[in-house]
Structure 1
Amino acid sequence: MSAIKTTPTPNHLSDIRFADLGLHPTLLSGLQRLGFSHCTPIQAAALPHALKGQDLAGQAQTGTGKTAAFLLATLQHLLSQPRAENDDGLQPRAFILAPTRELAVQIFKDAQGLAIDTGLRMTVCYGGAGYESQRASIEAGIDLLIGTPGRLIDYYKQHAYSLKQIEVLVLDEADRMFDLGFIADIRYLLRKMPPPAQRKNYLFSATLSHRVLELAYEHMNNPQKIAIEPDQVTADRVNQAMIHVANDEKLPLLVGILRQQHAKRSMVFINTKREAENVERGLQANGFEAHVLSGDVSQGKRLRLLEDFKAGKLPVLVATDVAARGLHIPGVDLVINYDLPQDPEDYVHRIGRTARAGATGDAISLCCETWVYSLPAIEKYIGMSIPALEGGYDLIASDYITPPRAPRKHSGTARRGSGRPRTRRNT
C-alpha cells in the first residue's frame, strides 16, 4: 500500500476544480446545483487516484468531505461503465456499508443530491423502520445500495438481492465498524462479492488503525493510502474553551451559557442516557426547546429530531455519542460537552459537529467533579491545553428553575391490591 500524506492549507478548499477532473457531465451539473466548484483536500487527494481505477484507503478528520469523495468516485464508475450484456438490470452494482442508521441516511441523501441528473437508482436500508418498503425498493431494481450491515444481511439471506455483480465497494467509518462489532458481518458480505481484483474498493475512516489497515489488505487490491493530516487534531476553526464547575451547578451553568451564546443550533453532549433526560427536563423547564437523541430512541423519532434540528425548528439537541460521528448537520454554532467524554477521540468527534465545511464554531466543555479526570488525556491527544473561558463561572443562571422529578419507573411487580409498587428498603 503506497501512501500520500498532505496537510491542508488554512483555506478550507484546495485549488483543484471538479470541472478539471474529467467527471461525468451529469455529476458536474449535480455539483453545480449544490454550489460546489472546488475540491476539499481529501477530495483533491483521493479523486484523481480513484478516477484512474485505484483502490483507496482514506483518512481525514470529520467534516472534510470524505463522503462526497467516495460518492463521486462510485457514481463516476457507474456512469462510465455500462452493465454487462447478460445483466438483468435489477441487481446492485455498487455497495456502501455504514456503521449507523444516521450515517447511512446521510450518505443516501448526499448521493441523491450528487446524482440528481444521472438517472441512477439507489436506496438505503437500515433497521428500525420501513422493513417492507426498503425490501420492495431493492427488488424493484437498483444501481447503488447503501445501508447498515444487519438489515443488508437480512435481505441478502432472503434473496432480495445478489452481490455477484458488485463492481464498487465502499466501507465508511471502518474504525467505527470495529467498535460496534460489525467486522464478522462485513467479512460475510465481502465473501459473497466478486474478488477484490474484480471490483473497485474504497475504505474511508477517521483513523487508519492497524486493524483497519489489516481489513484493507485483506479485501482490497493494493489500495492507495490517502491521509489528510491537519496541523492540529481538532478543527482549527473551532474556538475551544472550558469551565470548571461543581456537579450541582452544571445545569444552571448550561442554561446561562445557552442564554449568553444565542446560538441558532446547539448540541449538548452527555455521557449517559439517564443524565441526558435530566438535562432535557432542566432545559425545558427553563424555556428551551430541547430534546434527547440517544441510541434507544425509535428510528422514526430520531430522523424527525434530526430533520427538525437541521431545519432550525429544534434549537438544542441533547445527545449521547450516537450523534458524535458521521452526521453532517450544517450550521451548528455551538457544541457543549456537558460531560467530558472518557475517550479523547470522542472529544474530537463531538466538537467536529461544529465548524464544518469551512465554517467557524464554538465548543465549551464543562469540567465537573465526575468527569474532570478525562481532561489530561484529552489535552494530550489534541496537543494543546483547552483555555478557561474568561468569566465563564459567572454565567451560572441565578434564576434557574429546578424541574420536577421524573416519574419513577418500576417493573410492575407490585403486590396485588397494594395500589403501589414495592420499594426496596434503604440499607
Structure 2
Amino acid sequence: MHEVECFHKAKRSWAHCTRACAPLPRKQEKISLFSLLHLPWLLFLSFNLTLLPIPKTRITITITITITITASYPNSSQQSQPPDPDCDGVSGKQKMAKKRKASDIEAMPMEEKADHKKKKKKKKPPMPPEPEEDHLPNAVSNFRISDPLRAKLKDKGIQSLFPIQAITFDTVLDGSDLVGRARTGQGKTLAFVLPILESITNGPAKASRKTGYGRTPTVLVLLPTRELACQVHADFDFYGGAMGLSSCCLYGGAPYQAQEVKLKRGVDIVIGTPGRIKDHIERGNIDLSQLKFRVLDEADEMLRMGFVEDVELILGKVENVNKVQTLLFSATLPDWVKHIAAKFLKPDKKTADLVGNTKMKASTNVRHIILPCTGSARSQLIPDIIRCYSSGGRTIIFTETKESASQLAGMLPGARALHGDIQQAQREITLSGFRSGKFMTLVATNVAARGLDINDVQLIIQCEPPRDVEAYIHRSGRTGRAGNTGVAVMLYDPKRSNISKIERESGVKFEHISAPQPDDIAKAVGGKAAEMIVEVSDSVIPAFKAAAEDLLNSSGLSVVELLAKALAKAVGYTEIKQRSLLTSMENYVTLLLEIGRPIFTPSFAYGVLRRFLPEEKVEAVKGLSLTADGNGVVFDVPAEDLDTYLSGQENAANVSLEVLKALPRLQQREQQSRWGRFGDGGGRGNRFSGGRGGGGRNIRFLNDRFSNGGGRGRGNWGGKRW
C-alpha cells in the first residue's frame, strides 16, 4: 500500500513538472536521452519514499533530483521554444534581453539618450517597382538573344537596346552585309558585338566554326586607335566569355611575342589596329582562311588617320569573300568610306542610317558652347570652366599638340596627360585611373578622341576649333553617351576661327557665352563649399570657437562677410580678378563703343577713339571687333585704366562708351577671308576705296580694313576718310 502511494506521488510530480515547464510538441516524437540532455530549462523532481518493513518506525527520505537538459530537434520545423510565463507570445529570453537594453538606456546620461534615439534607423519608403522588361521599347527579350548573353546584359543594367542596335540586330544575325551610321555615343559597338556572338555560337556560322588548339580566327575587327581597340576587346571578352569564346587585342606599342603566343594557341575573335594587324599577317601569324566576319568600326576615322592602304590590304587578304560577312560602322560617310563599302561589301548590302540627311550630325544630348579665348588666357580660364560646367563629373580637355597637353596637365590640379609619346603601359594605367575616378580631368590629343568610351564624362573642352568638322563631331561625342547629357565647350580666338563652317556642316547651333565671371563662379562652387562646411563634425567647434570669436572681434567684418571669405578660401579663391568677355584675359575689361550710326571698319573706330583719348591709350586697346549689327565695336582695355577711358568720352559728342556685362554677337572673321582684300564690287581696291569692276551699292559689314562699294576706281563708299 505504501509502495503504491509513493509511486503515484512520484508520477504526479513528474507530470506536473513537465506541464509547467514546457508545452508538448505538436508532433508526437520519441524523446531520446540525447534530446532530454538538451532541454534549456531545469526540472525539479521530488520523491517521497517510505521505507518498510521496520515496525513502528517510519523513515521519510526526500530526494531532490536536478536534471539540466536541452532539447534539440534537428531537421524539425517544430522547434520547442523557451517558456512564455505571461503567455503573450514573447519568450522569456526575449523579455530578458529587452529588460537589459531598457536598463542600459535608462542608465545613460540625457545627451546620450537623445543620440541613441537619433541612431534608430528610419524605415525607408518602399522602392517604386521597376518597369517590366517586356514593356520597354526594344526590350532585350524581344530579340534572339540567348540566356548567357541576356544574363550578361542584365549584369550591365541593360534592359533594352539602343536604336542602332535594335535596327541592325536581325540584319546581322540573318547574314547580310551592313553599313551602319549613327551619331557618336549611340551604342554602335554592341550593334555588332551581340549579333556576331549569337551567329557564331547559335546561328549560321556555328557549323563551320573551328574549335580547339591552334584554331584560326572567325571574327576580325579593325579600329583606328589602341584605346578603342582595348575597349571593344573588353566588350567581346565580357560577353564572349559567357559563350565560351576567346579573343585577343593586337595594337602597336605592345610586345609582339605575347600576341604571337595567343594567336598560335588559337582565338575566335581578333581585335586590333590596322598597322599591327598588317604586321602579324605579313609574319604569318594570322590566317584569315576561316574568317566569317570582318568589321570596320569608326571607318571615317581610319581615313583621317591615314590607314587607307593598310585597311584595303587587310580586307583584300580574304580569298572567298562570299563566305565572309562584312560590317562597316561610321559616324560620317566621306567618299573613301563609300568606296570601301562599294568595293568590299556585297551588292545586296543593307544600310542602317540614323543620321540620314538631317542637318544635325553631332550628338543631340550635348550642349554645344563656344567661348572666345586667346592662347595666353587658356590656363587661367579652363579651371573656371571646369568649376562652372563639370558638375563634379569627369572632364576631357583636347589640345592640338602633345607639348600643350603635357603643359596644361601640369597646370591643372590632379589632371593627367594622354598622348602618343606616353608609353602604352602608362596610357592604360592613366585610362584605368580616369575610369575609376582616381582623377577627374584628362588632357589628351586627338589620339584619344575616338578611343574613349566612358559614359559618365560630363564636360568636353576643346582648346581650339579642330581642322575639320568630323573631328569636332567625334570630340564632342565623348560626352552625352548612352543616353546621358553633357556639355561641350570650344575655345576660339576671335581673330582666327572657322565657327560658322562647323555650324554649317555639323548642324550645331552654338551657344555663345563669355568667360565665367565672379558671380558665375560663386554660384557654381559656393553651394559645394557650403556643403563642405556643414559636413564638418560639431566636435571641432570647441577647439576653434575661441579663434573664431577673436577673428570676429578683431576683423571689423560681419559674420556673413567672414563666412563669405571662408567659402571662397575653401574652393581656392583668395581674390577675384576682372576678366575680359572678349579674350578671357585677366585684369582686362571689355567695352562697347557706339556713335549713333554704323561703323563699317575697325580703322574708323580707331579714328573715333583718337578724338578723345591719348595715343598711348588707343594703342593699349586689344581685340577690337565689329558687332554683328554693324552699329558698334567691342574691345578690351586694362582694368587699371578703366576710369581714363570712361571719363574721356565726355569730351566727344555722340559717343557712348560702356562696360559690357554680356558679349554681343560679333562679325565672323571668316567673311574677311572670303572676300580677301577686295571691295565688294570686284577688282582690287585701296585702303579706303572700292574695288575695280563690278558695281552697285552692295554694302557688307565686313571686319576688314577696306571699304565696300562698286564701280571703277573709287567705290560708292570708297575714298571718304571719316
Are 1:102 and 2:231 counterparts?
Answer: no
CA displacement at 1:347 relative to structure 2: 1.5
Aligned partner letter, 2:395 = S
Deviates most, 391-400 or 324-333: 391-400
Q: Which runs of 5+ in 2 are unaligned?
A: 1-134, 522-572, 578-722
Asked if residue 33 in structure 1 is aligned to residue 155 in structure 2, the reply is yes
Paired with 2:313 and 2:212, the residues of 1 have a C-alpha distance of 25
Partner of 1:281: 410
C-alpha separation in 1, matches of 2:281 and 2:265: 15
Q: Quick check: 385-394 or 95-104, which moved more?
A: 385-394
C-alpha contact 1:235 1:355 (8 A) present in aligned 2: yes
Q: Tell me which amino acid in the other structure corresponds to 1:136.
A: V
**How big is each residue's C-alpha offset from its partner over 1:261-287, in whole Å with a ceiling of 9 and x where there is no partner?**
45321111112222222212222xxxx
Preserved contact between residue 165 and residue 193 of structure 1 (Cα < 8 Å): no
Residue aligning to 2:505: 381
Corresponding residue number in structure 2 for 1:317: 442
Aligned partners of 1:279 and 1:294: how far apart in 2?
13
Task: Tell me the residue number matched to 1:254.
Answer: 382
Specify the alignment match of 2:428 in structure 1: 303
Contact residue 243 and residue 393 of structure 1 kept, 8 A: no
**Residue type of the partner of 2:298?**
E
- Structure 1: which amino acid aligns with 2:507? G
- Cα deviation, residue 399, structure 1: 7.0
Q: Tell me, what secondary structure is at the counterpart of 1:302?
A: helix
Q: Percent identity?
A: 33
1: CA distance, partners of 2:301 / 2:386: 31
* Deviation per residue, 1:236-294 (Å, 9 max, x gap): 221222222333222111122223345321111112222222212222xxxx1112111
Task: Quote how far apart the aligned CAs of 1:340 are.
Answer: 2.1
1:86-101 matched pairs, under 5 angstroms: 90-101=215-226
Residues 88 and 194 of structure 1: CA distance in aligned 2, closer, same or farther (over 3 Å): farther
Amino acid at match of 2:368: Q
Q: Return the letter of the residue paired with 2:234.
A: K
- Tell me the distance in 2 between the aligned counterparts of 1:161 and 1:93: 11
More moved, 81-90 vs 229-238: 81-90
Residue in 1 that maps onto 2:399: 270
Secondary structure of the residue aligned to 2:243 is coil
Instruction: Calculate the TM-score normalised by the size of structure 2.
Output: 0.51
Task: Return closer, same or farther for 1:360/1:87 CA change in 2, 3 Å cut-off.
Answer: closer
Matched, 1:228 2:332: no
Deviations 1:86-114, CA, capped at 9 Å, x for gaps: 87651111111111111110100111222
Report the CA distance between 1:135 and its aligned residue. 1.4
Q: Does 1:71 pair with 2:197? A: no
Is the partner of 1:115 in helix, strand or coil?
helix
| Residue equivalent to 2:262 | 137
TM-aligned CA distance change 1:135 to 1:53, over 3 Å: same
Q: 1:186 aligns with which of 281, 294, 311?
A: 311
Q: How does 1:65-214 map to 2 (within 5 A)?
A: 65-80=187-202, 81-84=205-208, 90-214=215-339
Which structure is higher in RCO with an 8 Å CA cutoff and minimum separation 6?
Answer: 1
Q: How does 1:319-334 map to 2 (within 5 A)?
A: 319-334=444-459
Provide closer, same or farther for how the CA distance between residues 192 and 243 of structure 1 changes in structure 2, counting only shifts above 3 A: closer
In structure 2, the CA distance between the partners of 1:86 and 1:355, relative to structure 1 (3 Å rule), is closer
Task: Specify which of 456, 481, 484 is matched with residue 356 of structure 1.
Answer: 481
Q: Separation in 1 of the partners of 2:374 and 2:280?
A: 50
Deviates more, 1:52-61 or 1:207-216: 207-216
Tell me the distance in 2 between the aligned counterparts of 1:184 and 1:240: 35
User: 8 Å contact 1:56–1:223 — kept in the other structure?
Assistant: yes
SS in 2 for 1:392: coil
1:29–1:373 CA distance, 2 compared to 1 (3 A): same
Alpha-carbon RMSD: 2.3
Q: Is the 8 A contact 1:98 1:149 kept in 2?
A: yes
Q: Secondary structure at the match of 2:260?
A: helix
User: TM-score with structure 1 length normalisation?
Assistant: 0.84
Please say if residues 101 and 148 of structure 1, whose CA atoms lie closer than 8 Å, have aligned partners that are also in contact: yes
What is the Cα deviation at residue 364 of structure 1? 1.7
Letter in 2 for 1:376: S
CA offsets 1:329-380 (integer angstroms, 9 cap, x no match)? 121111112222221221221111111101111122222256x412121121
- With over 3 angstroms needed to count, the CA separation of the structure-2 counterparts of 1:127 and 1:379, relative to structure 1, is same
Q: CA deviation at 1:179?
A: 1.7
Q: SS where residue 373 of structure 1 aligns?
A: coil
Separation (CA, whole Å) in 2 of partners of 1:393 and 1:384:
25
Looking at structure 2, the residues matched to 245 and 43 of structure 1 have their Cα atoms a distance apart, in angstroms, of 40
Aligned to 1:16, the other structure's residue is in SS state: coil
